[in-house]
Structure 1
Amino acid sequence: MGLAFPLAEGAAAMATRGLSPDEIKRRAQLTFDKAEQRKLDSERAFDALRVEQVATAAKTARLRALRLAKESADAEAAAQAAAEQIAAKAAKLAAKLGAAKVAKGKTVGAAKPRAGAAAIKKAKTV
């Protein structure tokens, strides 16, 4: 593992053998500029990715809020429909029972007078 670094140095020394110092500086500057450009490109790509992630998160939050509002409205409508069905069944049953009592000669809503406790005792003693 220690051999990789000295070989790289040797390869660099061989690549610049016989070149003028200005050419060596120019090549070094080009290498540095390429590395700097790659760094800037990766930062731009990361920034674009981050913007996309933020936009996706905002869209997801908006759609979630819409879905929750719709589910709430649907649940409320279902509860109201169920209450209306129960009321309709109760009214139908009350109408049916009322019609049956009227048919037997009983009036709906009129209660028979009941004898009190004193009247019951009196009837037993006689």
Structure 2
Amino acid sequence: MATRGLSADEIKRRAQMAFDKADARKQEASRAMEAEQAERDAVMQKTARLRAQRLAKEAVEAETAAIVAAEQAQAKAEQIEAKAAAKAAKTKASTDKIAKAAEKLAKAAEKAKKAAARV
């Protein structure tokens, strides 16, 4: 910057203008950095909130899945128990039927023995 032929006041005025311009740039840069930092903070907060929501949702889904699995296992166990009880009842009925038939045969054999003994 040429200062030849300028008065001291003019030199001071120009220097002050240059200083003011540089100061204004610094302030603008500072505001821009603050705005950028605020934006980063907002993104971080939103990310943290969304992560917390996702984790809570996953926990609820896992708990629900565990409950459903337990209910299904209980239903399956009850179904197996019912089948086993039905099979046991059927087996008992068959056993009772066979026992009655054996009893009848024993009585018939005894009658036949008595009849043979009379003859």
1:70-94 CA deviation, whole Å, 9 max, x = no partner? 0110010010011011111111111
Q: Greater RCO between the two (CA within 8 Å, min separation 6)? A: 2
Moved segments of 4+, more than 2 Å: none
Q: Count how many residue pairs are aligned between Structure 1 and Structure 2.
A: 93
Question: Which residue does 1:101 correspond to in 2?
Answer: 88
Listed one character per residue, the Cα deviations across residues 20-40 of structure 1 (whole Å, up to 9, x for unaligned) are 222211111110011000111
Alpha-carbon separation, structure 1, partners of 2:3 and 2:72: 92
What's 2:28 paired with? 41
1:109 aligns with none
Determine which structure has the larger helix proportion and give its number. Answer: 2
The structure whose Rg is larger is 2
2:79 alignment partner, one of 89, 92, 112: 92
Output the CA distance in 2 between the equivalents of 1:74 and 1:17.
80
Identity percentage over the alignment?
55
Deviation at 1:51, TM superposition (A): 1.4
Question: Where does structure 1 lack aligned partners over 5 or more consecutive residues?
Answer: 1-11, 107-126
CA–CA distance in structure 1, aligned partners of residues 3 and 12 of structure 2: 10
Counterpart amino acid of residue 20 in structure 1: S
Give the aligned CA root-mean-square deviation in angstroms: 1.3
Instruction: List runs of 5+ in structure 2 lacking aligned partners.
Output: 94-119
